[in-house]
Amino acid sequence: MPEQPAAVPPTDPTDDLPLDDAPPLPRKPFKDTADLDITPMIDVVFLLLIFFLVSSTPDQDTSVELPPAQYGQGVSQQTSVIFTVAKREGDRPAAVYLADGAVGSPLPDDPKQQEAAVVEAVEKGFLGGGKTSVLIKAARDVKEAAVYQVARAIGKAEIEDVKLHVAVFEED
């Protein structure tokens, strides 16, 4: 049997061409994805929510009359030793008054003298005045540390079972 010539691989006509002249490779088919960006829709929903919250007015006819508390009791001014803590201008510490409101002169600014005056007022009110509780009234913008300082001084009074109440009032 005669020998057959070896198979010659087919030649690509573009093998001799420079890369710039080569024909472009076929692209993958474009697939349209069905993703939807909902960010603008969320923005619109929040804007509508804000609009309706701001522009709505509550109906006075549908207001609810709440029942009185069953277990709580109001604090009587006649049976309480009352301290008022008021804010001062600038960086000065809060003023503490032995009264209902900022009347008279405040207690001394020195912490030890102020503590002694608070203890004396509480003991005098409980032992000699028939008081049964202590009420601290503080202005809205008074720092909590000033109220805590008065409460700590009340705790140093030698009185058992002191009922301490704290109230916040808004100044005009």
Give the pLDDT of residue 110. 86
Give the 3-state secondary structure of residue 165.
strand
pLDDT per residue as tens digits for the range 80-109: 888 888 888 777 788 888 877 777 788 888
pLDDT of residue 3: 67
Measured from the Cβ of residue 136, the count of other Cβ atoms closer than 10 Å reads 23
User: How confident is the prediction for the chain on average, in pLDDT?
Assistant: 80
Structure tokens at 115: 């503590």
Helix (H) / strand (E) containing 118: helix 111-127
Q: What is the DSSP letter of 84?
A: E
153, 96 in Cβ contact below 8 A?
A: no
Least confident span in 113-122, 125-134, 142-151: 125-134
Highest mean pLDDT among 47-56, 118-127, 147-156: 47-56
List pLDDT tens digits, range 10-56: 566 555 656 666 677 788 887 777 778 899 999 999 999 999 999 98
Higher-pLDDT residue of 83 and 159 is: 83
